[in-house]
Structure 1
Amino acid sequence: MPRKYDKKRLNEMLNKQETGLVDKVEIVFKNMPDCDIKGAMEPRLYKDMKKVALLTRLLPKSVLKLEMNTASIKKLRKMFNNVDSTPIIDKGVDVITDSFLAADGGEIPIHCFKSQETLENAPILYFIHGGGFFAGSTAVVADMLKLLVANTGILAFSVDYRLAPEHPYPTSHEDCYSGLLWLHQHASQFGGDPDQIFVGGDSAGGNLTLYCANRALEDQLDLIKGQLILYPTVNMGGVQDEYVRFTKDKFDIYDKQAKVINLSLDMLRGLGDGLGQILGTTDLMTPYLTPYMAVNPKLPPTFIAVGEHDFLKIETLAYARKLVMAGVETKTIVYKGLGHAFIDRIGYLPQSEDCVIEMGKFILNHRS
């Protein structure tokens, strides 16, 4: 299937990228390939987001507040489960479905993405999808994973962990960790190297990724070569300090697009405020749900990416800073003009493809 943009945009992004400091931490800034307006939304994204902005005005307030009721969850799941990508890779990648047993005996699906050019003893990305802990699936990120394995020859696995509120915290976290343990035991059956496992995830999946990494350290298991977290949820407990405090002063917003950008920031931030209710817990001040509280200096090399207009940008960059201050090797990229969940838009946004390329480089550069 053809991209919805000219592939030369990827080279333009590479030529236009810059490096700068945020709170004394080095950040790579990926400028838009075909727009130089400061604070503007990516032109392709803005066209779609104008429509979303109109639709959100029609949604009931209960949905936007993420109130705990069946109707709201159903509507939000439908929205979050939509596949927003278009296939770039339509052949040459096989998807093999298996399953493992969770800690409580539940059977959890896991999917292996394997290209016809898979490396011998291939490195592995164990990817955990986002969706606010109550939505999302492998289907949403499948095109991204197909592109990644086609580009690199690595293996990718995606887990369909159980979702809240039907399965309250810590079910999703324990499911993902059980999947990591299973993968370490079974990687060689798929042609992968069990000593070369990278864990990654986006949004809520980033939180679940950090849980896996921290649990492995707690259990004194050397399971993870690196972690890749995309716009992760790291401060559900609402820790306040000078680096993580949310303020729109930390966002460049183009005046002519302010209504759409601000609506996106406010709506999604509002959704995030209800995650404790969705997860069925009031104890958000735990390092498992708020990993910003404490950073283990033994965490593996870390790749971080976030959009310029993502409501999670501030806490993402604050967490990147904590990693660097703790001595953890960290690469952080900010994609100009993008908001939340951009990795889901493979084939539509050149930045999404660029991020997959950067993820592949990170994995291949950190294998041993």
Structure 2
Amino acid sequence: MVEITPDFGPNEIRSYLKVGGWTRMDGGELAELWTLPGLADEVVLVPLRPNAPDFAKRTHILLNDLARVEAQDARAVQDAIATVYHDVTDLRASHPSLTDGSIPLEAGYELFVSAKRLRVAAAAATIRRQGHFRNFPPRAREQAREVRLGQTRRGSYIVPIISQARSPLEVYTPGQTDIDVGIEEVLFDRRVTATMSRALGVLEEMATAIREPTPSEITDCVGEGVSYELCQALAKVVNAGSVDTLDISFNWSRVAAPPSGAPPRVEFNHEAIEIIDRVSTQLKTRTYTRQHVIYGVVTDLSRQPDDEDGRVGVRTLIQRRNRIVWMHLPPALYHVAVRCHDEGIPVRIQGELTSPPGGHATMDVKGFGPDPSLPLSQGTMV
């Protein structure tokens, strides 16, 4: 039996079992029995009291039972349960000479520093689409203090970034008129990871295309979260000695579906970085775009029979304070707002935000739609 100290509780265990097809068959206050439908009569016991003296022992038995059923290592099962509410982004530096699982000090340093740079750049783009930030929003800088690094792993050299995917609490419901600041903080982490994935996917497409990207395509990529700072974070790693390729894989939480349009894996070699360097030069010297991005729930809808546009209020966080942002939407987007309101679907809006202290916040909308970071309705979430 593998002796592993559990770093999770009953809620993580239940969620892991549920998405794996297990169902609860019986239980009380101290423990539950879960079964896996199939040819084999598999039953596991889930301890429910983390403070109980035998919780670690019962958890060890559970991990080994699951490892046997799933034909994998008990440590892998433990990691999967511990991160069931988290996304894990693996940064892997590789080179033919890296055969023993180690990496030169300089290259390793750049990999760890770039993990921070990538995260902060993606967080900044989650708040504001901008080609070159110069100064990051304070909220973006805080990301580096909030996410965690997992244990480095073999496989060339892998550094895992662990970030929250969603709260185990309820998230959004139809007709909701308020938002929970704590839950929004958790969802911000998932939105940052989604921004990073889509932005890196766009860069990979540019770097592997038959032709080089045009100036207009480089300008457009800012809307997907690409920035000078994001490009530089990639270049620093691959340009470091002894690193031939950097690949980044996104292991999305098992209880929150992958964001729409987010690639599961991207890869950058020296040839790709040459293109990205040219992209970053234009973003720094010739491209200036700036659009705010807000996330929230539609709370107010107003449109008279003779009106072409509709007036919409969205409850969101501005500098971590609960605010309503008002906007006018054309008919097609107004109908999207109505559907999101009626079905409890969170929204993402891009545009020019005006938020005077003590006054009404308004937005000149450039893009409006369901939040692609949270593709599932609340009713289908575990």
TM-score bracket, normalised by the shorter chain, equals under 0.3
Higher normalized contact order (CA 8 Å, seq sep 6+, divided by chain length): 1
TM-score normalized by structure 1?
0.25
TM-score normalized by structure 2?
0.24
| Larger CA Rg, structure 1 vs 2 | 2
Larger fraction in strand: 2
